């Protein structure tokens, strides 16, 4: 019996390392499997967020533009009121600001010191005043132009954004980017040479020219705001949390709304608002609802645009905005009976071609980024500030 027990113990001693190795391998395989699952979930979540923000930009922009055109078509005449609704919807974001968690910057090595209140106040004031001016230019352009023409001219915003980003955010002008800029510029310039729209809309040629100039100026101004916003994220705010985004939208909208209200009362247009509501073609309730939903649509657009600027770049945000280019003219044909003549069709095709050219450059940059650095935890590696603008 003693020899049998010793033999059994010897066999068990020999098998123990093998079993331990099997258990270790099993545990290691489980860990690897778990770790390989997490990156896919994070990647899926990241792309889902980008899709949601892009939807906010497209839906908010399209709805706000169509409602703004409806305001003018049914009897609205106040440029200051049309401007006010572009920024005055920010109070709906305040409840979200109250529940948004505060970021503890001191726990983050790359953000050891938050910006001072003076710096933030200066930033919000500058962006707010500039935003008010840009919104006024947009209102004048939408007042004097058919909605399809207006939306197509806004495509020039992408070109302006790339130009400003070249100086502010180290934009690299690759051949595909230059091709995109040229096509979008030609697309908007073609619309100057179409006489039918101004005649069919009973708009004098002088006012049509003013509307065109104001829309181009607004596109350039807003492109500058987007580039400055990206620069502010990188140099001043250094964070893109939900609370930081809400702070930026709310405070700059607060400043812009104050400036616009001063203009509304100083111009005396506030005296005619009651009569305007009484004479609105769809009734008083529709007048109020038009203004309310326009304001809400612009805030939806602002949330999506601001998050896309931080997560990717101002140029990518502009590309998504340009992606909605065909949406408004097509919807305008059904809702406002705008004419889609040959010049507009060519302009639209050139704008879409310019958009595809940019997307292809983004695709090439993404391939290069993956080849050089790979993915970090399965989430697409964001390009450096110098590469982000592609």
Tell me which range, 39-43, 204-208, 358-362, 370-374, is most confidently predicted by mean pLDDT. 204-208
Residue with tokens 């980003």: 165
- Phi-psi region for residue 378, left (φ > 0), alpha (ψ -120 to 50) or beta? left
Residue located via tokens 């304001």: 295
Scanning the structure block, which residue is given the tokens 């706000």?
Answer: 64
DSSP-derived secondary structure letter, 236: I
Does residue 343 carry a pLDDT above 90? Answer: no
Domain map of the chain by residue range?
56-102+114-388
- Residues whose CB falls within 8 Å of the CB of residue 28, separated by 6 or more in sequence, listed in order: none
Out of 116-120, 261-265, 328-332, give the one with best mean pLDDT: 261-265
Question: Residue 158 burial (CB < 10 Å; 0-12/13-18/19+)?
Answer: buried
pLDDT recorded at residue 191: 62
Q: Mean pLDDT highest for which of 100-114, 162-176, 248-262, 308-322?
A: 248-262
Q: CB neighbours (10 Å) of residue 105?
A: 15
Look at residue 26 in the predicted model and tell me its pLDDT. 52
219 φ/ψ angles, rounded to the nearest 5 degrees: -65, -45
How does the average pLDDT of the chain come out, rounded?
Answer: 76
Which one-letter DSSP state was computed for residue 105? G
Total-model pTM: 0.73
> Using CA of residue 190, residue 196, residue 201, residue 205, what is the dihedral sign?
positive
The one-character DSSP state at 103 is: P
Identify the band that residue 29 occupies on the pLDDT scale cut at 50, 70 and 90.
low
Range with the lowest mean pLDDT among 170-174, 236-240, 357-361, 379-383? 379-383
C-alpha 209/C-alpha 144 separation (Å) is: 9
Q: What pLDDT sits at residue 388?
A: 45
Q: What is the pLDDT of residues 195-238, one digit of tens each?
A: 544 444 566 778 888 988 999 899 899 889 988 888 888 888 87
Q: Please state, in angstroms and rounded to a whole number, the distance separating the CA atoms of residues 373 and 369.
A: 6
What would the two tokens of residue 183 be?
């096509």
CA–CA gap between residue 191 and residue 97 (Å, rounded): 42
Cα–Cα dist 16/322, whole Å: 66
Beta bridge pairs of residue 336: none
- Distance, in Å, from the CA atom of 154 to the CA atom of 322, rounded to the nearest integer, reads 8
With CA atoms as reference, report the closest residue to 297 among 48, 59, 5. Answer: 59
DSSP conformational letter for 194: -
- Measure the CA dihedral 27/30/31/34, to 10°: -160
Residues 186 and 350: their CA atoms lie apart, in Å, by 8
- Greatest Cα pair distance, the chain, in angstroms, is 115
What is the rounded distance in angstroms from the CA atom of residue 285 to the CA atom of residue 153?
32
User: Which of 14-18, 47-51, 57-61 is predicted with the least confidence, judged by mean pLDDT?
Assistant: 14-18
pLDDT digits (tens, 9 = 90+) for 283-320: 889 999 999 999 999 999 988 888 888 777 777 787 77
pLDDT reading at 374 higher than 80 = no
What number of residues does the chain have? Answer: 390
- Residue 80 has a pLDDT of 92
């Amino acid at each position: 019996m003693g020899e049998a027990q010793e033999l059994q113990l010897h066999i068990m001693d020999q098998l123990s390392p093998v079993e331990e190795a099997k258990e270790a391998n099993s545990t290691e395989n489980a860990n690897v499997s778990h770790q390989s699952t997490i990156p896919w979930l994070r990647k899926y979540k990241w792309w889902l967020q980008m899709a949601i923000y892009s939807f906010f930009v497209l839906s908010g922009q399209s709805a706000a533009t169509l409602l703004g055109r409806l305001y003018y078509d049914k009897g609205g005449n106040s440029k200051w009121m049309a401007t006010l609704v572009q920024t005055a919807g920010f109070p709906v974001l305040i409840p979200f600001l109250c529940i948004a968690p505060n970021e503890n910057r001191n726990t983050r090595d790359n953000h050891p010191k938050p910006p001072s209140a003076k710096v933030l106040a200066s930033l919000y004031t500058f962006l707010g005043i500039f935003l008010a001016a840009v919104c006024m230019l947009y209102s004048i352009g939408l007042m004097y132009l058919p909605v399809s023409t207006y939306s197509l001219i806004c495509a020039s915003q992408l070109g302006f954004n790339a130009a400003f980003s070249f100086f502010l955010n180290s934009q690299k002008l690759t051949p595909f980017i230059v091709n995109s800029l040229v096509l979008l510029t030609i697309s908007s310039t073609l619309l100057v040479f179409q006489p039918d729209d101004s005649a069919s809309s009973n708009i004098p040629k002088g006012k049509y020219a003013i509307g065109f100039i104001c829309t181009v100026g607004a596109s350039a101004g807003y492109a500058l705001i987007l580039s400055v916003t990206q620069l502010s994220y990188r140099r001043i705010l250094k964070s893109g949390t939900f609370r930081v985004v809400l702070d930026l939208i709310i405070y700059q909208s607060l400043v812009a709304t104050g400036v616009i209200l001063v203009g509304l009362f100083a111009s005396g247009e506030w005296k005619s608002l009651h009569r305007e509501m009484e004479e609105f073609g769809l009734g008083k309730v529709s007048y109020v609802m038009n203004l309310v939903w326009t304001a809400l649509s612009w805030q939806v657009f602002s949330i999506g645009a601001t998050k896309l600027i931080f997560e990717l770049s101002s140029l990518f945000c502009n590309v998504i905005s340009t992606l909605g280019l065909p949406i408004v003219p097509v919807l305008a044909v059904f809702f406002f009976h705008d004419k889609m003549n040959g010049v507009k069709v060519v302009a639209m095709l050139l704008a879409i071609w310019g958009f595809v050219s940019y997307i292809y450059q983004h695709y090439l940059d993404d391939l290069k980024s993956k080849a050089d650095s790979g993915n970090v935890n399965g989430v697409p590696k964001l390009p450096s500030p110098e590469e982000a603008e592609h």
